[in-house]
Amino acid sequence: MPSITRDEVAHLARLARLDLTDEHLDRLAAELDVILTSVATVAEVATADIPPTSHPLPLTNVFREDVVHPSLAPEQALAAAPAVEDQRFRVPRILDEE
C-alpha cells in the first residue's frame, strides 16, 4: 500500500511555495494517502488485455458543419451600440490597469 509521510507533504509544500500549518500538513498527509491508495487499487484492477481508453463508449462528433454565412458589416453591428470608440464597442473599465 502506498503511504505518504508528513515530511513528504512538507517537502511538496516547500516546492510549491505553500506555507502550510502543522494541522494542514497532518490533514493533507492523511488525505493524500487515501488518494494514493485509491489509485493503487485502480491500478491493480486494470489488466493488460484491456486497452486504455478515455471513455467507455466510442464518441462521435455531434457538431454541425462549419458553414460561412454573410454577417453584419462593422457599421451595422456598431449602429445599436450605446457607445463606440475607434470602430469598437466602448465598455466601462473594470480593471485599474493601463
pLDDT tens across the length of the chain (98 residues): 568 889 999 999 999 999 999 999 999 999 999 999 888 888 787 677 777 778 888 888 788 888 999 999 989 999 989 999 999 999 988 887 66
Class of domain 6-45 as given by CATH: mainly alpha
Distance of CA 93 to the CA centre of its chain: 27
Residues with Cβ < 8 Å from 90, sequence gap 6 or more?
81, 83, 84
* pTM: predicted TM-score of the whole model, two decimal places: 0.46
Can you tell me the distance from the alpha carbon of 29 to that of 33, in angstroms, rounded to the nearest whole number? Answer: 6
Can you tell me the distance from the alpha carbon of 31 to that of 43, in angstroms, rounded to the nearest whole number? Answer: 19
Can you tell me the distance from the alpha carbon of 71 to that of 61, in angstroms, rounded to the nearest whole number? Answer: 26
**Percent of residues in the chain assigned helix, strand, coil, to nearest 5:** 40, 5, 55
